[in-house]
Amino acid sequence: MNRSVVSRDDALSQAMPDLALAGNGALVCAFRESALYPQQGEFETPAGRLKSRISVRVSRDEGETWGGLIPVGGVKMEEGFLNCPRLCRLRDGTLLLAVDWIPRSDLGERDPACGIWFWRSRDHGQTWEGPERSCVPGIVPSLRQLRDGTLLCGSSGWNGAGEEAMRVHRSADGGRTWEGPAVVAEQAGHSFSEGDFVELDDGTLVCYLREEKHPPVSLKAVSGDGGRTWGGPFRAGLLSCLGRPSAGLLRSGEVVVTHRCDFSGMFCMYVESQAQAADRTPASVRVFGRGFMIDVDRAAVSHWGYSGWVQLSGGDPG
């Protein structure tokens, strides 16, 4: 496995990356830049992310080297901060970037004013238009355009019982307007967040979820009607998914999910068939896929494993 450095600035935290393959074949990586985390746990508070901005770098050689830093958007520190970017290439070639905005308040990520902002690039990541402040509430978005053109935006927020729930909005016009939300996963005693969607060949949708109250169990939800209603949660095969899963299909038809695993800073990949992905039978009678450790974060303050991936022209995921 080859490794290259996308971006490094020892005076900043560069985190929460996502990756997309542009229409011209370039790789586009979006990430958050913010103040360094002085101590473990400060990234859970607004103080750790003041003066945040979202930036992009572009590679034209399948990730071997990366171009200059392209700032996309920032906010005034007295207003709030930008948190976690997600990228999606739409069918018309536009790159759509979703980021959750969190107001500066004592509630932090639990503030009901948290919401999803969008930027668009029509030149393969070189310039960006925005922000568009959408009606989609919540934090840590996910984006997926279905084969029929419907765009899904997932996000999570806290319910009246103080537990996180995963929800999804749908758009028929490329993210200009949204309808919803539909509840993907919400259950007493659980905390569902950061889910990502994959559309199987028969149109079934699977959402792989972060669930941190019951590690190492991982869970998923399944929809047969384009994300309008969801069944589950069902047991998934990922090993202790405690950091934003990134799901998609290989050209072989297999499902791949990369995710952070809460075992010694592990960054992992999970691979399974579409039949395994759609399986709703009890875990005791089900055969799961296979998992791999990609890398381990050995830093004193570990906060990684948020990822994006694409399949390169040679067939390998990157």
CATH number assigned to the domain comprising residue 163: 2.120.10.10
| Mean pLDDT along residues 287-296 | 89
- Are 188 and 151 found together in one domain? yes
**Of residues 159 and 228, more confidently modeled:** 228
Residue 117 lies in a domain: yes
Residue 318 lies in a domain: no
| Residue finishing a domain among 137, 165, 199 | 137
- Are 125 and 57 found together in one domain? yes
Backbone angles phi, psi at 252, to 5 degrees: -70, -15
Full-model pTM = 0.92
pLDDT band at residue 277 under the 50/70/90 scheme: very high
Percent of all residues in the chain with a pLDDT value above 70, rounded to a whole number: 90
Q: How far apart are CA 83 and CA 81, in angstroms?
A: 6
Residue 233 lies in a domain: yes
| Mean pLDDT along residues 198-221 | 93
Residue 232 lies in a domain: yes
Q: Edge to edge, what strands does the sheet with 13-21 contain?
A: 13-21, 27-34, 53-59, 70-74
Torsion of Cα atoms, 76 then 80 then 86 then 89, to 10°: -50
- Which two structure tokens, joined as six digits, stand for 208? 């792989």
- Are 294 and 146 found together in one domain? yes
Closest alpha carbon to 80 in 128, 24, 34: 34
| Mean pLDDT along residues 293-318 | 80
Residue 302 has pLDDT above 90, yes or no: no
- Are 163 and 278 found together in one domain? yes
Specify the number of domains making up the chain.
Answer: 2
CA 136 to chain centre: 15
| Residue finishing a domain among 137, 154, 180 | 137
| Residue finishing a domain among 137, 154, 176 | 137
Per the CB < 8 A criterion, the answer to whether 318 and 257 are in contact is no
pLDDT in tens, 99-130: 999 988 888 899 999 999 999 999 999 999 99
- ∠ CA 182-82-121, rounded to 5°: 80
Per the CB < 8 A criterion, the answer to whether 188 and 163 are in contact is yes
- Are 4 and 96 found together in one domain? yes
**Predicted local confidence at residue 40, as pLDDT:** 40
Per the CB < 8 A criterion, the answer to whether 119 and 128 are in contact is yes
Residue 291 has pLDDT above 80, yes or no: yes
**Of residues 182 and 299, more confidently modeled:** 182
| Mean pLDDT along residues 132-142 | 96
**Predicted local confidence at residue 10, as pLDDT:** 84
The H or E element that residue 102 is part of is strand 95-103
- Are 14 and 130 found together in one domain? yes
pLDDT in tens, 46-60: 444 556 889 999 999
pLDDT band at residue 41 under the 50/70/90 scheme: very low
Least confident piece of the model among 49-63, 86-100, 141-155, 233-247:
49-63
pLDDT band at residue 300 under the 50/70/90 scheme: low
| Mean pLDDT along residues 172-200 | 96
- Are 49 and 150 found together in one domain? no
Q: How far apart are CA 97 and CA 150, in angstroms?
A: 16
Q: How far apart are CA 57 and CA 9, in angstroms?
A: 13
- Are 112 and 24 found together in one domain? yes
Residue 225 lies in a domain: yes
Domain that holds residue 118: 1-137
pLDDT band at residue 3 under the 50/70/90 scheme: confident
- Are 101 and 161 found together in one domain? no
- Which two structure tokens, joined as six digits, stand for 131? 């922000």
Q: How far apart are CA 174 and CA 48, in angstroms?
A: 33
- Are 44 and 154 found together in one domain? no
Report H helices in the chain.
274-278
Residue 212 lies in a domain: yes
- Are 195 and 58 found together in one domain? no
**Predicted local confidence at residue 35, as pLDDT:** 75
Residue 43 has pLDDT above 50, yes or no: no
**Which residues 6+ apart lie within 8 Å of 121 measured at CB?**
28, 94, 95, 97, 127, 128, 129
Closest alpha carbon to 7 in 25, 28, 26: 28
Neighbours of 169 (CB within 10 A): 24
Residue 160: CA count within 13 A, CB half-sphere: 0
- Are 274 and 169 found together in one domain? yes
**Of residues 32 and 12, more confidently modeled:** 32
Neighbours of 18 (CB within 10 A): 25
Mean of all residue pLDDT scores within the chain: 89
